[in-house]
Structure 1
Amino acid sequence: MAEPAADTIPRLVRLGAERYPDNPVIVDSDGRLSYAELDATTRELAAGLFAAGIGKGTRVGLIMPNGVQWVQIAIALTRIGAVLVPLSTLLQQPELVAHLRTASVQYLITVEEFRGHRYLADLAPHRGELPALRAVWTPDRLPRTGDTAAVDVIGDAVAPSDTLSIMFTSGSSGPPKGVIHSHGNALGAVASGLSARCIDADTRLYVPMPLFWVGGFGSGLLSALLAGATLVTEQIPRPETTLRLLERERVTLFRGWPDQAEALARRVDEVGADLSSLRPGSLQALLPAELRAPAGARANLFGMTESFGPYSGYRADTDMPRSAWGSCGRPFPGMQVRIVDVDSGRPLPAGEIGEIQIRGPHVMRGICRRRREEVFTADGYYPTGDLGHLDDDGFLFYHGRSDDMFKVSGATVYPSEVERALRGLPGVGAAFVTEVSGAVGAAVITDRDVEDLRVAARKVLSAFKVPTLWWRVESDDAIPRKATGKVDVRALRELLAERGVRG
């Protein structure tokens, strides 16, 4: 099992400054920072934060949009062993208070306002509900005076087993969960997937995910730091500005949401952006036709917040064996995966669908305010709630969420299976499937009419899986999402019932 060259953030930052001093580590729409500059600026900021009372184990919330400053603050905190609690910029007032309380945040660093959210004003009436919260700072008022020489000494005391971050995820339903990751388990998880994601020191990586999600923090920032690569990011992705950013920075690897890649691809000619620097391993919608693989030939990288990002995959620029097409590749080194019966927990043989359970050194350390026995099985596996099967060669196939599957006329429908089939139809940008009053409902990004879609779907799906309720939408913006970015299935079901047409 390949282990990262550095197993804590303090060591990783210093190593990057030694190996790649002049390489840019982070680029946003307005600025950039080299590895040497990251080391110097975060050392200064870390000294000020330590002098102000923040140290090993201190829980610090961070609410900021993507950018160079987010990275500087996050790295400064983790260099002195503080626990980073990245918080979504999408949180409404009650959600913000609940997150701060769940993670027992002691210090909060937040912008005053972003995209209509006024975090300081939202928080002010509720400070009495947060006894752990000692201070709230805006980024421009952070303490910056301290002993910089002491920062490396403090960093040397940070151990791989120390908590790095608390990442929030909503799961499929219910209140958000504060997922606890250590320096060692997080960096190990990221390192195990670098090769599959085609990230090395020459990579200029664009990831659309916010840095407060594991997709942005782990698959973006920490991936860049471990590989010596450059992360390119922006506060608010929009097709024209994103395409110009990709062109200007000669981005070589575009990872993230297939929906966004497809939306950008539809605007490339109109904007006139040169994306010739993109290489195989990027999402295929943005690659020229001669570099694209057949549908299903490349792995759908699969993971979750609890595994600190992808835990299963296959090299993104290489076709899998034909028998594995449509799969999520194989589990990465350091991750054990088993399939169990949903009801009994009995391990299932290859080919049978059941709940995916994971175990290993890269899995989270725990969940805030929950006992270990509430989170893990007696033998240390984490029940993910995802459904899947393993084939005889160890490739993992995903079949949706155990709480999303539903019955139609007594037969089981897996939404992910229907979504995958609909996405494969010409003219379909994306599809989102759920149960609506005992029937299959689908929200589809497409210009095709409903009858045309229904006829096409019948050719690739069994009759009981073909949606009977269709809602055509123009873009992903119409799909309701939670603060974590996951589809809000309950809201989607309501919209389908209200706006869907029968076909």
Structure 2
Amino acid sequence: MTADTPQTMPAALARLAADAPGLDALVTVTDRITWAGLDRASRDLAAVLAAHGVGRRTRVGLLMENGIDWAVCAFAAMRIGAVLVPLSTLSRPPELEQQLRVAAVERLVLVDGFRGRDYLEEFAELLPLGAEDGRTPRLPALRSAWRWDELRARPAPAAPYRDLAAALESRARPADDLAIMFTSGSRGLPKGVIHTHGNALRAVASGLAARSVRPEERLYIPMPFFWMGGFGGGLLTALVAGATLLTEAVPEPEQTLELLTRERATLFRGWPDQAARLAAHPRAAEADLSSLRPGSLAGVLPPELRGRPGSRANLFGMTETFGPYCGDPVDRDMPPDAWGSCGTPFEGVRVRIADPGTGEPAKPGDHGEIWVRGPNLMRGMCGRSREEVFTRDGWYRTGDLGHLGDDGRLWYHGRLDDMLKIRGVTVYPSEVEAALLGVPGVRHAFVTDLAGPDGAALLAAAVVPDRDAPLDEAGVRAALRERLSAVKVPGVLRVLAAGADVPRVASGKVDKAALQRLLAR
């Protein structure tokens, strides 16, 4: 982040609305809004929220699909110092109750339903719908739950409330809490990660060069805004870069192709399997995607614009660091000896590799747990003391395994709890997955372990082939034996259908238990 980059959300929004008022901020299949329009709409709604008791440090939950309404509501809350709590549209009542309780949400804004679900009916026993002060024993912090259609239809408040909203906005500071983002791995309960205005904006700004996002970019990201990929990687990236975000609430191949063509998208950052489906769609041949440039997912680029397999940095980060904290520019190849790495830690970010047991720094080149420290890092976690989250000298133990190369690049080797012992040998799933991805015809690879008949752990893998690639288990194993020692060749291997995917949890990460069940069959 440069010295003149705004470090609070209202300052960043006001600056872009003044500098580029006519630039599209957000475009969907059916709607669009400029940065000036988003500034005005969120300012008006901020006064409504202030009139109904929302102010500095009020925790405001938002349960809504991707779209302009989400952005207006989110910026309205953030600009007056409220703490935004994006909530998953996939949540079921027990999951929503847990997140509302963990984050101590005081006000909730929600749509009536999404994708065939009726939220008002599903959550009726949980939420004080329509109440201005409807506290319940189950959720003692929650004072009200407002339907979005009713909230936006409320008349403009009187001048004193507009003045109140403006006064609240003027008090925003970089150290103020901005948002609570929920994260979870393939196991365990979600964690409420607290980010401030300053650390969130610094994190986004520090990653723009590696993510190859430029001013006036037209960036397509369909990830839900309740995930870091959609909120930080999409909405706030467009804000900090001075760009336009293209998004969809429910991506559909034909609709996506039309959106990309119509809006002259310059970067495609969806899911790899989504890119593969688009490329295979019958309408792909007639869609004009010539505006897409290197740095987009390879599946939607012509061969001459793609990087060689493994040549581009695997941008690496987590919710706790507000997205990527490590990477090299994704629109160009790294040096050959860096292929497969995550690239270089961003400016200001410090990375340490530590012995998982003792916490002592590992020797150069040794594998260990990745620790991070720096201005991008979260303030803390809901319900946890600082001592529970950070070491005494401020490091965050990520639970990820990796090593630092001689050139300072970070290499990822999986999760600490995913490190496998196969016949007494330590095996990193990421190493086996990388080898599988080097087999011609393999598009995706997923590695885990299974309990064998004698109770000993077996290495197991599922691979998804490229379209029309003639893969079989014997051929994949033979290719692996040329790359890996025998103990690292999976004893259980399944070749899935082209275009298939493995089971995933709500966060989008692989569901390890379900993957194991799939492979056990």
**Smaller-chain TM-score bracket:** over 0.9
**Stretch deviating more after TM superposition (455-464 or 361-370):** 455-464
Give CA deviations for 1:277-315 in whole Å, capped at 9, x if unaligned.
Answer: 001111222221111222222111000000000000111
Give CA deviations for 1:80-114 in whole Å, capped at 9, x if unaligned.
Answer: 11110001111121111101110011111111221
> Does 2:437 align with 1:427?
no
Hey, what does 1:352 align to over in structure 2? 366
Hey, what does 2:156 align to over in structure 1? 145
Which residue identity lines up with residue 78 of structure 2 in the other structure?
A: T
> Does 2:519 align with 1:493?
no
Pair 1:245–1:159, CA change in 2 (3 A): same
**Stretch deviating more after TM superposition (329-338 or 409-418):** 409-418
Native 8 Å contact 1:169 1:484 kept in 2? yes
Residues 232-251 of structure 1 correspond to what in structure 2 (within 5 A)? 232-251=246-265
Hey, what does 2:130 align to over in structure 1? none
Residues of 2 paired with 1:87 and 1:226: CA distance?
23
Which residue identity lines up with residue 494 of structure 2 in the other structure?
A: W
> What is the Cα deviation at residue 493 of structure 1?
1.1
Residues of 2 paired with 1:476 and 1:409: CA distance?
33
Hey, what does 1:444 align to over in structure 2? 463
Hey, what does 2:171 align to over in structure 1? 157
CA RMSD, aligned part only? 1.7
Instruction: Give the secondary-structure state (helix, strand or coil) at the position aligned to 2:370.
Output: strand
Hey, what does 1:403 align to over in structure 2? 417
Residues of 2 paired with 1:343 and 1:263: CA distance?
43
> Does 2:506 align with 1:483?
yes
Native 8 Å contact 2:446 2:461 kept in 1? yes
> What is the Cα deviation at residue 172 of structure 1?
4.2
Native 8 Å contact 1:3 1:191 kept in 2? no
> What is the Cα deviation at residue 363 of structure 1?
0.2
> Does 2:469 align with 1:455?
no
> Does 2:33 align with 1:33?
yes
Instruction: Give the secondary-structure state (helix, strand or coil) at the position aligned to 1:16.
Output: helix
Instruction: Give the secondary-structure state (helix, strand or coil) at the position aligned to 1:220.
Output: helix
Which residue identity lines up with residue 254 of structure 1 in the other structure?
A: F
> What is the Cα deviation at residue 148 of structure 1?
3.4
Residues 308-457 of structure 1 correspond to what in structure 2 (within 5 A)? 308-437=322-451, 438-446=457-465, 448-457=471-480
> Does 2:114 align with 1:114?
yes
Residues of 1 paired with 2:498 and 2:147: CA distance?
35
Pair 1:4–1:86, CA change in 2 (3 A): farther
Native 8 Å contact 2:373 2:396 kept in 1? yes
Native 8 Å contact 2:186 2:505 kept in 1? no
Structure 1 spans left out of the alignment, 5+ residues: 499-503
Residues of 1 paired with 2:446 and 2:174: CA distance?
39
Native 8 Å contact 2:93 2:126 kept in 1? no
Residues of 1 paired with 2:436 and 2:165: CA distance?
53
**TM-score where L is the length of structure 2:** 0.92
**Stretch deviating more after TM superposition (122-131 or 205-214):** 122-131
Pair 1:166–1:303, CA change in 2 (3 A): same
Instruction: Give the secondary-structure state (helix, strand or coil) at the position aligned to 2:231.
Output: helix
Give CA deviations for 1:437-476 in whole Å, capped at 9, x if unaligned.
Answer: 1112122222522223222332333222222222333366
> What is the Cα deviation at residue 359 of structure 1?
0.5
Residues of 2 paired with 1:208 and 1:352: CA distance?
37
> What is the Cα deviation at residue 174 of structure 1?
1.2
**TM-score where L is the length of structure 1:** 0.95
**Stretch deviating more after TM superposition (480-489 or 467-476):** 467-476
Which residue identity lines up with residue 509 of structure 2 in the other structure?
A: K
**Stretch deviating more after TM superposition (327-336 or 284-293):** 284-293
Native 8 Å contact 1:243 1:268 kept in 2? no
Residues of 1 paired with 2:435 and 2:45: CA distance?
50
> Does 2:285 align with 1:261?
no
Which residue identity lines up with residue 101 of structure 1 in the other structure?
A: R
Question: Which of these residues, 194, 212, 226, is aligned with residue 212 of structure 1?
Answer: 226
Native 8 Å contact 2:278 2:284 kept in 1? no
Pair 1:14–1:443, CA change in 2 (3 A): same
Instruction: Give the secondary-structure state (helix, strand or coil) at the position aligned to 1:195.
Output: helix
Native 8 Å contact 1:4 1:226 kept in 2? no
Give CA deviations for 1:172-226 in whole Å, capped at 9, x if unaligned.
Answer: 4211100000000000000001111111222100112111111110011111001
Residues 47-126 of structure 1 correspond to what in structure 2 (within 5 A)? 47-126=47-126
> What is the Cα deviation at residue 401 of structure 1?
0.5
Structure 2 spans left out of the alignment, 5+ residues: 128-135, 452-456
Q: Give the paired residue count.
A: 498
Question: Which of these residues, 205, 216, 236, is aligned with residue 202 of structure 1?
Answer: 216
Pair 1:471–1:114, CA change in 2 (3 A): farther
Residues of 2 paired with 1:316 and 1:3: CA distance?
25
Which residue identity lines up with residue 441 of structure 1 in the other structure?
A: A
